[in-house]
Amino acid sequence: MDKPLTLKSARTLHITYNLPISRTSKFWEGLKEGKIYATKCQKCGKLHFPPVADCGDCGSSNVKWMELEGEGEIETFTQVVVKPASFSKESDYIVAIARLKEGVRALAWLIGVEREDVKVGMKVRLVARVISDGRVSYEFIPI
Amino acid sequence: MGHSRFGDRSDVNLSELTFEAVQPSLEDSGLTAKEIPYVAVGSMGVWSEEPLPAVVIAEYCGLTGAGLVRCEAACASGSAAAFNAYSAVASGQMDAAMVVGVEKMRQIDTPTALEMIGRAGYYLWEFENFGMTFPAYYAVHAVQHMAKYDTTEEDLALVAVKNHRYGAMNPLAHLQHEITVEKVLNSSVIAWPLKLYDCCPITDGTAALVLASEEKVNELGVEAPVWIEAMGFSSDTANLSKRENYVGLEASVQASRMAYKMAGISPKDVDVATVHDCFTIAEIMAYEDLGFCEKGEGASMIREGETEVGGRIPVNVDGGLKAKGHPIGTTGVSMLAELTKQLREEIKPRGRQAPMKNYTALAHNTGGTGHYCYVTILRR
């Protein structure tokens, strides 16, 4: 079959979104100080991570910030080899989900360990990370 | 019903592709485009140039003027559209309605397509810093299932081998070639432990259905109509980290229970099923979540051949998402079209026709990583 004819669109898009973080600013500021915060609902007691400004469980907006110690256990993980376009310059990265001792779970990169050495049940710590260009994130490191 | 050939369909544009399903669907029903009062379209549409695919395809297919909506439930958009149209008819407001699923995913490059789907979770908490991809979302389920139930990479490969075997028998399938366990195991890693042949392809395709009330069906004199007995649905958290475990999809459990209850049947009454096998692990989890077997026994079903034609419950004997292909918004509609043909016992070649005892079929369609789920039970 002949190669199908296509018209390449002349109009292109480069989209950058502005994400409002005013109501969770303590979390993002905390990362710069090496701290990881969750929010705890003052009405029903539910602990939320990632943090929220409103409790969807009971409808209260009375939440308080609580620092997490970050210790947890890996429940599952993967290593991303084929990457999305905006991560194309990264080396293969391990993403893990761990349950922290406070009872909440977190999803983040696991660094400082080879994929072959990662096991379900492995002890890790969730730590804040300042990325070189001033952006902040968090990641797991093996304990 | 109507159903296009799936695959790389760069030979046609969005509208021309949709026409390939809409026109046969109209001819099959005995209605003309002008007689269709309502159209629900399942489409994600971010990979093709039209932000309003429903109006573009409706114009092209002569459906302009009908009530029109585009439904989004990620990979379950087709089922969401089917429920929308079903509700319009079942409520008595319409005597007929059309369901269209359409997706053209191959108009952009693969890394951008991966990016679009990877963002379909919770963008800020899973993608912005962590670059999750769709294979990665299912890979974390595979890892926990393997750790907890001793499911192996070979078991996952068996799902791909089965679905490719049926895909090779389906002239509408994207991938019409058989594969071996070795080929799956030796294929390149996408998101460990999932490899290329554990993943569905990126596919263009369309399917369409006409739904009608009992009165309208009698008026049209439809021979052997297929009835929607039940549609169950559920959803789950956007953040994967807010779920209790990664060995199944809770939305599938809830949606199927709802559907079984509405239809007054149990899993053992199902003659044939299509399940959402976007990745091989997803089919194994679906066996368990839909109650075809106990939790943790999914791998033994594939090992024992229980889900092949002639087995206890044939699953994805059209090739599934894995081999037939997964044009995201089309898949739910494609499943219902396939099961309609199964229930009418029209499948050719006969090697992939499931034997009918109860004339009951089940379609399981999830969106995202079990973020949305619809389970539809059809009966003839």
List the structure tokens of B91.
């409520």
Same domain, B197 and B208: no
Q: How many residues does chain A have?
A: 143
Q: How many residues does chain B have?
A: 380
Same domain, B305 and B189: yes
Residues of B in contact with A9 (CB under 8 A): 49
Torsion over CA: B58, B49, A20, A138 (sign): positive
Task: Say whether B75 is catalytic.
Answer: yes
Give the whole-angstrom CA distance, residue B45 versus residue B260: 32
Residue to substitute from A31, A78, A97, A115, interface B, most B β-carbons within 10 A: A78
Give me the residues of B, 100-139, that contact A with CB < 8 A. 109, 111-112, 114-115, 118-119, 122, 124-133, 135-136, 139
Residue A2, classed as helix, strand or coil, is coil
pLDDT class of A1 with cuts at 50, 70, 90: low
Looking at the 3D structure of chain B, how many domains does it have?
A: 2
Cβ–Cβ below 8 Å for B140 and A9:
no
Q: Which domain covers residue B272, as residue numbers? A: 113-201+224-379
Give the whole-angstrom CA distance, residue B197 versus residue B161: 9
Domain boundary pick from B220, B247, B279 = B220
Same domain, B117 and B90: no
State which residue of chain B sits closest to A4, comparing Cα positions: B11
Given this model, what pLDDT does residue B69 score?
A: 98
Average of per-residue pLDDT across A73-98: 97
CB B8 within 8 A of CB B106: yes
Same domain, B373 and B250: yes
| CA A134 to each of CA A28, A121, A129, A137, B121: distance values in angstroms, whole numbers, following the listed order | 12, 33, 10, 10, 25
Give the whole-angstrom CA distance, residue B17 versus residue B197: 27
pLDDT class of A132 with cuts at 50, 70, 90: confident
Strand partners, A73: A99, A123
Which one of the listed residues B3, B141, B174, B326 is annotated catalytic? B326
CB A142 within 8 A of CB A124: yes
Residue A2 has pLDDT above 80, yes or no: no
Side chain identity at residue B212, one-letter code: A
Give the whole-angstrom CA distance, residue B121 versus residue B311: 36
CB B2 within 8 A of CB B337: yes
Residues of B in contact with A79 (CB under 8 A): 189, 191-192
Domain boundary pick from B169, B190, B220 = B220
Give the whole-angstrom CA distance, residue B366 versus residue B233: 10
* Other CB atoms within 10 Å distance of the CB of residue A35: 16
Buried b (16+ CB within 10 A) or exposed e, A109-142: bbeeeebeebebebebbbbbbeeeeeebebbbee
CATH level 2 (architecture), domain A20-67? Single Sheet (2.20)
Given this model, what pLDDT does residue A3 score?
A: 86
Nearest to B283 by CA among B179, B171, B145, B189: B145
CATH of the domain at B151: 3.40.47.10
Q: Which residues of A touch B (CB under 8 A)?
A: 1, 4, 6, 9, 19, 49-50, 75-88, 90, 93, 95, 97, 104-109, 115, 120-121, 137-138
Nearest to B210 by CA among B55, B31, B374: B31
Residue A97, classed as helix, strand or coil, is strand
Residue to substitute from A16, A82, A99, A104, interface B, most B β-carbons within 10 A: A82
Alpha helices (H) in chain B, listed in sequence order: 14-29, 53-61, 77-90, 110-118, 134-149, 153-167, 181-185, 214-220, 250-263, 280-289, 298-303, 320-324, 331-343
Given this model, what pLDDT does residue B229 score?
A: 98
Give the whole-angstrom CA distance, residue B340 versus residue B53: 26
How does DSSP classify residue B52?
-
Give Dmax over CA atoms of chain A in angstroms.
67
How does DSSP classify residue B65?
T
Same domain, B179 and B269: yes
Same domain, B182 and B287: yes
> In what order do the strands lie in the sheet containing B38-42?
B2-3, B205-212, B96-103, B38-42, B67-71
Per-residue pLDDT of chain B (380 residues; tens, 9 = 90+): 999 999 999 999 999 999 999 999 999 999 999 999 999 999 999 999 999 999 999 999 999 999 999 999 999 999 999 999 999 999 999 999 999 999 999 999 998 998 999 999 999 999 999 999 999 999 999 999 999 999 999 999 999 999 999 999 999 999 999 999 999 999 999 999 999 999 999 999 999 999 999 999 999 999 899 999 999 999 999 999 999 999 999 999 999 999 999 999 999 999 999 999 999 999 999 999 999 999 999 999 999 999 999 999 999 999 999 999 999 999 999 999 999 999 999 999 999 999 999 999 999 999 999 999 999 999 99
Residues of B in contact with A1 (CB under 8 A): 11
> In what order do the strands lie in the sheet containing A47-48?
A47-48, A37-41, A63-67
| Annotated domain spans of chain A | 20-67, 69-143
B96 has a chain A CB within 8 A of its CB: no
Location of structure tokens 């050719």 = B348
- Which residues neighbour B66 within 8 Å (Cβ) at sequence distance 6 or greater? B36, B37, B38, B39, B58, B98
List the structure tokens of B14.
């969005």
Nearest to B214 by CA among B110, B109, B96, B129: B96
Give the whole-angstrom CA distance, residue B202 versus residue A131: 33
Buried b (16+ CB within 10 A) or exposed e, B183-203: bbeebebbbbbbbbbbbbbbb
Domain boundary pick from B220, B248, B277 = B220
Q: What is the ipTM of this complex?
A: 0.96
Cβ–Cβ below 8 Å for A95 and B140:
yes
Cβ–Cβ below 8 Å for B191 and A77:
no
Peptide bond into A50 cis (omega under 30): yes
List the structure tokens of B278.
């976007």
List the structure tokens of B357.
């005892």
Cβ–Cβ below 8 Å for B112 and A75:
no
List the structure tokens of B322.
């894995």
CB B155 within 8 A of CB B285: no
CB B141 within 8 A of CB B247: yes
List the structure tokens of B90.
């079942």
Pick from B111, B122, B240: CB nearest A84: B111
Tell me if the pTM is above 0.95. Answer: yes
Residues of B in contact with A109 (CB under 8 A): 129-130
Residue A86, classed as helix, strand or coil, is helix
Overall CATH class of domain A69-143: mainly beta
